Copies of this chain bind each other. A is one copy, B any other.
Amino acid sequence: MSSADDVKLKQAREDFVAQWGALGTHWGINRTMAQIHALLMTEPEAIGTDEVMERLQISRGNAHTNLKELVSWGLIRTIVKKGERREFFEAEKDVWKIFTIVARERRRREIDPALGVLHQCLDDSRGIDTPEGRAFHEQMSKLAEFVGFASNVADRVSGMKYGIALQLAARLLS
């Protein structure tokens, strides 16, 4: 028999999946990918493609693409069960690991290309001998320096053990 608690949990989970999916949009992550991640984060057991399709009411292609994308991020991993031919997926549930994965991925997708552009413009404007040219070069230089610096800091922080990061943060908040 399905108790009242089971119903409440089912609703809470569905709510979390739907809302987290909507949020994904603001994170540069598509809705489905965020929903699958939410689903797996709150699922005790590893589940297969067909169950994902059914729970989220999405097509096989969509489920497949986004599961693979999540695997490539490292936010979920594939599980092979003995005697089972198909693949199952389970989420990384440790919050610090999730954070470091997302931080790294965002650096790769958002910061590194920006640094590339800045360095190129820095080169292209080197030695332009007019007041405007020097001002432009100076602005590029400041931006590149700051972004590079911030990127290193973020890297360092997300490479820390959770305990160390926690200590550091606690000092900041005190």
Residues of A within 8 A of B (CB): 3, 5-6, 8-9, 11-13, 15-16, 19-20, 23, 26-28, 41-42, 44, 93, 95-96, 99, 109-110, 113-114, 117, 120-121, 124-125, 128-130, 132-133, 135-136, 139-140, 142-143, 146, 149-150, 152-153, 156-157, 168-169, 172-173
Instruction: Return chain B residues, CB-CB under 8 Å to A12.
Output: 121, 124-125, 128, 136
For the complex, give the distance between the alpha carbons of A109 and B130 in Å.
41
For the complex, give the distance between the alpha carbons of A153 and B27 in Å.
19
For the complex, give the distance between the alpha carbons of A140 and B41 in Å.
10
Q: Are A15 and B124 in contact (CB under 8 A)?
A: yes
Q: Which residue of B lies closest to A106 (CB)?
A: B26
Q: Are B3 and A121 in contact (CB under 8 A)?
A: no
| Minimum distance in angstroms from A171 CB to a CB of chain B | 9
| Minimum distance in angstroms from A145 CB to a CB of chain B | 8
Q: Are B28 and A27 in contact (CB under 8 A)?
A: yes
Instruction: Given the known inter-chain contacts A139-B42, A153-B173, A169-B149, please indicate yes or no for A113 contacting B26, CB distance below 8 A.
Output: yes
Q: Are A44 and B95 in contact (CB under 8 A)?
A: no
Q: Are B152 and A16 in contact (CB under 8 A)?
A: no
Q: Are A133 and B9 in contact (CB under 8 A)?
A: yes
Q: Are A117 and B20 in contact (CB under 8 A)?
A: yes
